[in-house]
Amino acid sequence: MPLKPNEQIIVSAATATAVYAIFQLNAPNLADVKASVPGGAASVNTHRSVKTAVWTSALLVTGLGLLARDPTIYIVGGLLTAAEGWKFYHANATDGKGNMVAPGSAVTGQPSPTLNGG
SS (H, E, C) 43-67: HHHHHHHHHHHHHHHHHHHHHHHHH
State how many domains the chain has: 1
In a domain, 90, yes or no: yes
In a domain, 107, yes or no: no
Query: CB of 58 within 8 A of CB of 26?
Result: no
In a domain, 71, yes or no: yes
Domain that holds residue 89: 5-96
Q: What is the pLDDT of residues 12-29, one digit of tens each?
A: 999 999 999 999 999 988
Q: What is the pLDDT of residues 79-115, one digit of tens each?
A: 999 999 999 888 888 876 666 665 555 555 555 545 5
CA-CA-CA-CA torsion sign (102, 117, 50, 48): positive
